[in-house]
């Protein structure tokens, strides 16, 4: 039996199965990257729902796991050298799980770094820009009289979704025929843009051909369907 008692987060969210990867998350666009990856790889894990609406990421126990106070985060009881490993940042977790399992990250050095490049594209551009568009279009930001911030993020989201459209021309997935962590990183954000945020018309999503077809292929995967609902919202 693995001993995770050294991790303060397990005192607030006890591990019923400490021999499994512990996932601390919520089904947000960032959170589902990791739950989808865990479902795709088949690694045993135990999900814990972190209620961001009640600021649970800012509790001392969670901050001891991720000092940046964001989901998702994991503890792997069987990390490198057989020692427990705590990890935060969704992109880093995707890379770690891909390397741990040898799946969804090409072995070829050129294809590998190109895949990582597209993960970074999501982390640095798509996530922040789509998220800001959501704030200024759907949430409290929509009440601002000054519409310049909304227009700024609308224009950038419009541009970024077309970067993906160009990339996917002639490809089933970001890296061609192979589904990788680059796709997993992007699924939740594109889905949220046109679904939860309801910003499809703002970015002329329906003028696109490749991105909608790609999203449909990704959403048809059983592991994606499961991962999008994990952990169940409190």
The answer to whether residue 1 scores a pLDDT higher than 70 is no
Residue 67: how many CA atoms within 13 Å on its side-chain side? 0
Neighbours of 110 (CB within 10 A): 8
87-94 long-range contacts, CB within 8 A, separation 24+: 90/30, 90/31, 90/33, 90/34, 90/123, 90/185, 91/33, 91/119, 91/120, 91/122, 91/123, 91/185, 93/33, 93/34, 93/37, 94/33, 94/34, 94/37, 94/119, 94/181, 94/184, 94/185
R_g of the chain computed on alpha carbons: 18
Query: Given this model, what pLDDT does residue 2 score?
Result: 82
pLDDT band at 102 (very low <50, low <70, confident <90, very high): very high
In this prediction, residues 79-106 reach a mean pLDDT of 97
Q: Rounded to an integer, what distance in angstroms lies between the CA atom of residue 95 and that of residue 91? A: 6
Half-sphere exposure of 73 (CA within 13 A, CB side): 22
Distance between CA 49 and CA 128 in Å, rounded? 23
In sequence order, the β-bridge partners of residue 46 are 22
What is the rounded average pLDDT of the residues 154-161? Answer: 98
pLDDT digits (tens, 9 = 90+) for 164-202: 999 999 999 999 999 999 999 999 999 999 999 999 999
Q: What is the pTM of this model?
A: 0.96
Task: Provide the mean pLDDT of the chain.
Answer: 97
């Amino acid at each position: 039996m693995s001993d995770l008692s050294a991790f303060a987060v397990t005192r607030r969210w006890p591990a019923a199965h400490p021999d499994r990867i512990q996932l601390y998350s919520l089904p947000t666009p960032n959170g589902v990257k990791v739950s989808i990856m865990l479902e795709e790889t088949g690694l045993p894990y135990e999900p814990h729902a972190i209620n961001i609406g009640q600021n649970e990421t800012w509790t001392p126990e969670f901050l001891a796991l991720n000092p940046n106070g964001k989901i998702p985060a994991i503890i792997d009881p069987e990390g490198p050298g057989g020692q427990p490993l705590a990890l935060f940042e969704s992109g880093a977790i995707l890379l770690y799980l891909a390397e741990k399992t040898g799946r969804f990250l090409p072995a070829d050095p050129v294809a590998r770094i190109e895949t990582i490049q597209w993960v970074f594209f999501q982390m640095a551009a798509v996530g922040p820009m789509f998220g800001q568009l959501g704030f200024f279009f759907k949430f409290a930001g929509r009440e601002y009289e000054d519409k310049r911030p909304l227009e700024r993020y609308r224009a950038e989201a419009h541009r970024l979704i077309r970067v993906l459209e160009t990339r996917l021309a002639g490809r089933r997935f970001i890296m061609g025929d192979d589904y990788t962590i680059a796709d997993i990183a992007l699924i939740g954000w594109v889905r949220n843009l046109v679904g939860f945020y309801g910003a499809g018309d703002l970015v002329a999503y329906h003028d696109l051909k490749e991105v909608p077809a790609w999203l449909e292929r990704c959403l048809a995967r059983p592991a994606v369907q499961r991962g999008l609902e994990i952990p169940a919202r409190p």
